[in-house]
Structure 1
Amino acid sequence: MKRKTIINEQAAKARIYYLDILRVLSILAVITIHVTATNVSAIRNMDTFHWWFVNILNSFSRSAVPIFFMISGALLLGNEKNGNIKEFLKKRLPRIGIPFLVWSIVYCVLKHYVIEPDYPGIFSFGKIMVKEILQDSVYHHLWFVYIMLAMYFVIPFVNKIIKNAAKEELQFFIVMWFFVTIAYTTFQGIYYIKTEQYFYIRFLDIPFYSGYLGFFILGYYLKNQEFSKKMRGIIYAAGGSAMLAAPILTYLITRGKDVLNELFYGNFSITTFLSAVAVFILFKNIAWEEKINKRLMRLIISMSEATFGIYLIHLLVQIYLVRCIETSSKSIAAFASVSDVVTIAAVFMISFFIVKLINLNSRISKILFG
């Protein structure tokens, strides 16, 4: 018992608490995005209280996915243990690959026979399932796992670059990635709104500086970089302004259109980038050990460790929970907004409870959640 206590204390000291808290808040934000998605897409209601409520909730939650990638970069990059390709893939791939395959099959079965039933024959279903898994069309939230699996094949190489890179070189990468991925994507979106055409800039087509890899390296950099109080103030002001601007800009670029324009909801939009950086740095610079008691911190760590399972299972919980909720109150905007908040909290807590319950059986837990 004493040895176990010592090991637990050492593990607790090794934890980075702000990353645990960010992980929990991010999974809650992802659930918020999914719960509010239908209502925020109903643009015929744009001038109602409820639409603005879900628009603001959705906008404020959009930094969640970039933060998830930044957390992964903060934990995986710069780690000597992750430099060996064979050992890294042997350890990491099964932990995410097996649950991904299992849940892809589960969602595919439920989609075709329960959620959106079209009842294909058993042989037809086999072909459909293989095609949908290969093409990432099983269920919309699984795209995140595809990106993580792809990143696992890159991280050992990036680790070697990180290990030998000077701070100025990391800053150069982040600046280049910002212009090629964030600024260019935002510019393209705005230009398309104005002209209904894309403005393609050939020399910005630089693969190494595009995509989600930038969030991984950004997370590693922000974790290890200290900013002055003045600089943090500038970052918070920019991030806060971006967070407030996102719902307003979404309204302005959607008004008069047939469908919701999600430019400022996007993972690579300037508003999402600025808010994600500000939130990450803000939580990093809070002394959580002094502000949160040990019992609450243990609960947060438990939730943090369950986030992958919650991510995989929460849409099933949401689908069946929403079907059980009375819709009569939806006619009154205030009640509809309360219903959304209750649904978000319920989906999170039920998903967490199911994951912890399954975790009681280590073999099943390993298969389902890694």
Structure 2
Amino acid sequence: MSQNKRVLGIDLCRGIAAYAVILVHSGDETWGVPIDQEAISFRLLFYFAVPFFLAASFYFMMHKPRAGSSLEFWKSRLERIVIPYVLWSVIYLLLRLFFFYKSNQLDRLDQLFQDPLAIAFCGGASYHLYFLPLLLAGSTLILFKNYFSDIQTKIIIFFCLVSIATRELVSVSGNGWKIGSSLAFQGVLEALSLNIDAYPSLKLALVYAYWVLLCLPYFFVAIILSRVFSKDRVLWLSRISIIITFILFLIADIFGNLFLPGTVRDLIMAYSLLLFGISISQPINEWSNRNNSNLGRIVSSLGVCSFGIYLLHPIPMNVSKLFLSRLGFKSQVTVISMLIISMTTFLLSWITVSLMLKHKWSAKYLLGV
């Protein structure tokens, strides 16, 4: 898509969210070393990425004609989500097999194949791939878009509040889902004394049901915002809205965990950042054109590459980790080590994805472009 047709503020926010994912993964518990308390607090500021990606996806789906009801829409979902998911799952599975074999970790080889459902359908090949089947599961909600077209906004707000309360109740009651697994609603299953491993299809269906439940509040908020900010009203998003939405995002991100339920905090962070991106798009375009700057091209490239950066980043991250360990940063995760690893990984991923986009096959099948 050309620069003039892109929403550059959203491209900027997509790039920021992609970096946020990398920073979170630069200091999580999978590293196997102690994490400094300041690093933990710093990391918590960057958990807005996945909520933002969900918010952006649902908001823009609402503005697509015949979304969910046309073969073209589902074909694009296949090309954009399913094919990259399958190929990257194979890539990461092969890399893990190679690494475990070369490092003589045969016990981890056995563990890898203990849950084939998680590998095939839940992103078990790598910790970050779960987002693709989650997004695909959530996309099925668009099938119900037309059923809400004639319903009053206040009723949809009621549905939204119910979905938020339900999602929060499921979360705090211990019925959530663990990344990389194929088990959801564990509390309910334990209460029923049900051996869910004997019913693999039901086990997988519960995970996808949980993902749909997770996406439901984003779906309803997207419907509400698509009515408030229709094409005729989007001009309301002026420069003052840049300040308002950004401050709202910062408050929810920094202080939201002190007084907001987790689901509400995620929604506020996600949609305030989305509206900030829409608001700042025109100023970015104007500034770039007025100063004959490459800013627009850089931001556009960032948006185009963000999905690929997300998919690719564990590979350069391990390279960065190896480099950092040789510099002596291997006894504890700190803010400094997180920043070094995340910035290095982000730049390496961006450069690699930019090169991949120049090749038709990798752009289409690995990056879904």
Map Cα deviations across residues 170-207 of structure 1 (whole Å, 9 max, x no partner): 3222222222223x356547xxxxxxxx89xxxxxx98
Q: How many Å apart are 1:233 and its aligned residue?
A: 8.9
Q: How many Å apart are 1:346 and its aligned residue?
A: 1.2
Q: Distance in 2 between matches of 1:276 and 1:99?
A: 24
Q: Which amino acid aligns with 2:218?
A: F
CA contact (8 A) 1:108 1:129 kept: no
Of 164, 170, 191, the residue aligned with 2:150 is 164
Of 329, 337, 340, the residue aligned with 2:338 is 340
In structure 2, the residue matched to 1:221 is 224
Q: Distance in 1 between matches of 2:212 and 2:30?
A: 35
Query: 2:88 aligned with 1:100, yes or no?
Result: no
Q: Relative to structure 1, is the Cα distance of residues 247 and 20 closer, same or farther in structure 2, using a 3 angstrom cutoff?
A: same
CA contact (8 A) 1:70 1:220 kept: no
* Larger relative helix fraction: 1
In structure 2, the residue matched to 1:360 is 358
Q: Which amino acid aligns with 1:36?
A: G
Query: 2:52 aligned with 1:61, yes or no?
Result: no
Map Cα deviations across residues 267-317 of structure 1 (whole Å, 9 max, x no partner): x54433333343333444345336742521221111111112111110111
CA contact (8 A) 2:42 2:335 kept: no
Query: 2:71 aligned with 1:86, yes or no?
Result: yes
Of 282, 285, 289, the residue aligned with 2:279 is 285
Kindly report the root-mean-square deviation, in angstroms, between the aligned alpha carbons of the 2 structures. Answer: 4.1
Q: Secondary structure at the match of 1:141?
A: coil
Map Cα deviations across residues 237-261 of structure 1 (whole Å, 9 max, x no partner): 7654442236779xxxxxxxxxxxx
Of 163, 167, 177, the residue aligned with 1:177 is 163
Q: Relative to structure 1, is the Cα distance of residues 86 and 162 closer, same or farther in structure 2, using a 3 angstrom cutoff?
A: same
Deviates more, 1:142-151 or 1:128-137: 128-137
Q: Secondary structure at the match of 2:255?
A: helix
Q: Secondary structure at the match of 1:140?
A: coil
Structure 1 length normalisation: TM-score? 0.71
Q: How many Å apart are 1:30 and its aligned residue?
A: 0.7
Runs of 5+ consecutive residues of structure 1 not aligned to the other structure: 1-7, 190-197, 200-205, 250-263
In structure 2, the residue matched to 1:253 is none
Q: Secondary structure at the match of 1:303?
A: helix
Q: Relative to structure 1, is the Cα distance of residues 338 and 88 closer, same or farther in structure 2, using a 3 angstrom cutoff?
A: same
Q: Relative to structure 1, is the Cα distance of residues 270 and 247 closer, same or farther in structure 2, using a 3 angstrom cutoff?
A: closer
In structure 1, the residue matched to 2:254 is 244
Q: Secondary structure at the match of 1:22?
A: helix
Query: 2:35 aligned with 1:37, yes or no?
Result: no
Query: 2:25 aligned with 1:26, yes or no?
Result: no
CA contact (8 A) 2:18 2:49 kept: yes
Q: Relative to structure 1, is the Cα distance of residues 104 and 274 closer, same or farther in structure 2, using a 3 angstrom cutoff?
A: same
Q: Give the % identical residues.
A: 18
Q: How many Å apart are 1:69 and its aligned residue?
A: 0.5
Q: How many Å apart are 1:110 and its aligned residue?
A: 0.9
CA contact (8 A) 2:134 2:211 kept: no
Runs of 5+ consecutive residues of structure 2 not aligned to the other structure: 175-186, 189-208, 230-235
